[in-house]
Structure 1
Amino acid sequence: MKIERSVVVSLLVRGLFLMAPITNICAQEYKYEIGGAAGTSFYMGDANKTKFYLHPGISGGLLFRHNINFLWSIKSNIFAANVSGNSDDSGNRFPFARQASFQRTLAELGTQVEFNFFPYSDKYAYLGTKPYTPYLFTGVGLTYATGEKTFTGANIPLGMGFKYKLKNRMNIGIEFSMRKLFGDDFDVTEKTTGWNLDTPFGIKSSFLKNRDWYSFTIIFLTWEFGMREDPCHGN
């Protein structure tokens, strides 16, 4: 039986393709990210109970992310920021019409767990991945703030974000988070035995009552590295 030349060529091409090393046809996927972030910060506490972005400061720093899979990541950060507050324009009124203000520079070291709403990747479309996703995160951190009376304490970050792959190995995103502190003296920068914002109403703070917070709103840019050993699998 005579075989057409075009059929033979087609079979040879397909055979060579199937014998090629599998890593040559797999998309590369990376498990680590490193980059920088910059944005704004603000404080909420006794001198500002309800107003977001009152007396905004500047924030920025470095972050490192380990992408466990398409849905889960672990992120570490080191951030610095300026925060301030003034009870005179916060709408909060204290006994005997007392007023207080403060300003601090803080440094934070933290780790968070992130959950992506969509499987995040610009590859493996057959697995339902997308090059963008909103995400939620929480974790734990350590805060140090300057002043005549310094502040050192743990914090719990609660936040949300959105990230997008600009191109292979490059990500851009935006985050909003609140950092809950385990103390009520973040807004007390001077050493004093008199009235201050630690217990402005003379009522001792509890875990849920009168604790101070600060917030970050940042834009970040990260670069991926560390190729996975199993790039053909969706993990």
Structure 2
Amino acid sequence: MLSRLLTLLLLQFLFTISINAQDKRDIGLQLGGTYYYGDFNERTPLYKPSFSLGVIFRYNINNYYSLRGSAIYGKVAGSYNSSSYLPNLTTSQSFSKTLLGFEVMGEFNFLNFNPTNERKGKFSPFVNLGIGISQIGGGFFANIPFSIGMKYTPGQRHTVSIEWRFHKTFTDKIDEYSAPVDNRKVFIHNNDWVSFAGVIYTYRLFNNNNICPVYK
């Protein structure tokens, strides 16, 4: 029920933006891998990655700032070997859970970027920050997503990006293990994280009222 409500809210957000847009809307797909950081994996990037697939909609305020909404489907997995040590855990343990995530983020391009211009604004590094919610297994978890990446446009309204995204959750239950309170750990390590690394393709939609190329 909650996942349906979140989907409807995201669609309403995208529709509201799109009806007022003027040649500023991007729509596309994201492909890559999702993985987890937590008690079973404290520092290894791309740990037990699972294939993920998602959709993305971006509203470009200008060539530097944009808002975007996205949804992604994948899995997160992890395992514990009893040869290592975790408090109160004496046997090997593993998990694999389905992930369905929704997020709204603000995006900033460090350089002028414009996929409708054939001569300039063809690449830029970028960063994102926003809010999100994920259904992982049978539970819903709020998170703070942020990412870094690089985007390139060959022109003709196409854009290809590579992105590394992190989701700071507010739960320590994704791996079904909650360690005793460890005062040596700072706040960012107390709870589990979910991460995405992959490729994003978007296409700049046409507006019914064509804009003179001089003003693009």
Question: What range describes the TM-score normalised by the shorter chain of this pair?
Answer: 0.7 to 0.9
8 Å contact from structure 2 (residues 59, 67) kept in 1: yes
Task: Report if aligned partners of 2:145, 2:166 keep a CA contact under 8 Å in 1.
Answer: yes
List runs of 5+ in structure 2 lacking aligned partners: 1-21
Letter of the 1:142 partner, please give it: I
1:213 maps onto 2:188 in alignment: no
Give, as a single letter, the amino acid of the residue that structure 2 aligns with 1:201: P
After superposition, the C-alpha distances for 1:56-112 in whole angstroms (9 at most, x for unaligned) are 1111110000010010011110101111011229x9621366243211011001111
Measured in 2, the distance between the counterparts of 1:39 and 1:209 equals 24
The aligned counterpart of 1:63 is: 56
**Structure 2 residue aligned with 1:138:** 129
Question: In 1, distance between residues paired with 2:84 and 2:33?
Answer: 23
Preserved CA contact (<8 Å) 2:118 2:155: no
Classify the secondary structure of the residue corresponding to 1:152. Answer: strand
Q: 1:165 aligns with which of 147, 153, 156?
A: 153
Kindly indicate whether residue 201 of structure 2 is the aligned counterpart of residue 201 of structure 1.
no
Q: Tell me how far 1:202 sits from its aligned partner.
A: 5.3
Any gaps of 5 or more consecutive residues in structure 1? 1-28, 189-196
Code of the residue aligned with 1:86 in structure 2: it is S
Report the secondary structure of 1:208's partner residue.
helix
Q: Which has the larger radius of gyration?
A: 1
Q: Which amino acid aligns with 2:97?
A: R
1:208 to 1:48, Cα distance in 2 relative to 1, 3 A: same
Deviation of the 1:124 alpha carbon: 8.6
Question: 1:48 maps to what in 2?
Answer: 41
Aligned to 2:107: 114
Runs of 4+ displaced beyond 6 Å: none
Provide the identity percentage: 27
Corresponding residue number in structure 2 for 1:25: none
Q: In 2, Cα distance between the equivalents of 1:46 and 1:92?
A: 12
CA contact (8 A) 1:72 1:114 kept: yes
Q: Structure 2 counterpart of 1:136, which letter? A: V
**Contact 1:94/1:201 (8 A) holds in 2:** no
Aligned positions of 1:1-235 closer than 5 A: 30-88=23-81, 93-95=85-87, 98=90, 99-122=92-115, 123=117, 129-146=120-137, 150-188=138-176, 197-198=177-178, 200-201=179-180, 207-227=187-207, 231=212, 232-233=214-215
- Give the total of aligned pairs: 190
* Amino acid across the alignment from 1:219: V
Q: Residue deviations 1:124-178, cap 9 Å, x none?
A: 96xxx521111000101110012xxx22111111111111112211111111011
